Amino acid sequence: MKKLISAFALLVVVLNATAQMKDNKTPEQRATAVSERMVKNLGISPQQKISVHDLVLKEVEKAQAIKAKASADKKAMRTDLKAVRSEFETELKAILTPDQFTKWTAFKTQMREKRKDKKASGSKADDGGNDMGLN
């Protein structure tokens, strides 16, 4: 019984450490993860992958800068982040084909619904908090 409890406690510690490591991804790691996910889910080309990677990297760095400086004014931070996401989406639309962009929009909606469901059930979203793991 003690071994079972010890094993369970160790599992919890490992899972918590893994979750924390996921949250501490560098902008480069996030950009790589998102571009890989787009290759898998949208079938983007190698050239598109490079463009998406660069775009995501730029978006994540902008978002981090906004979050770092706007600790007191949450409303202004949300407004600034919304502008960054809007700019990202406009530039992404220029990179992707219409079919790929439609698939991305559907994927984004699906992930948003999953986050809502998880939030309603009391657990944390597992995708990093934003569309395709951004921010």
pLDDT digits (tens, 9 = 90+) for 26-69: 999 999 999 999 999 889 999 999 999 999 999 999 998 888 88
Distance CA 19, CA 126 (A): 9
In this predicted model, what pLDDT tens digit does every residue of 79-114 receive, in sequence order?
A: 999 999 999 999 999 999 999 999 999 988 998 999
Domain ranges in the chain are: 27-116
Contacts of the segment 116-119: beta carbons below 8 A, 24+ positions apart: none
Confidence category of residue 127, pLDDT binned at 50, 70, 90: very low
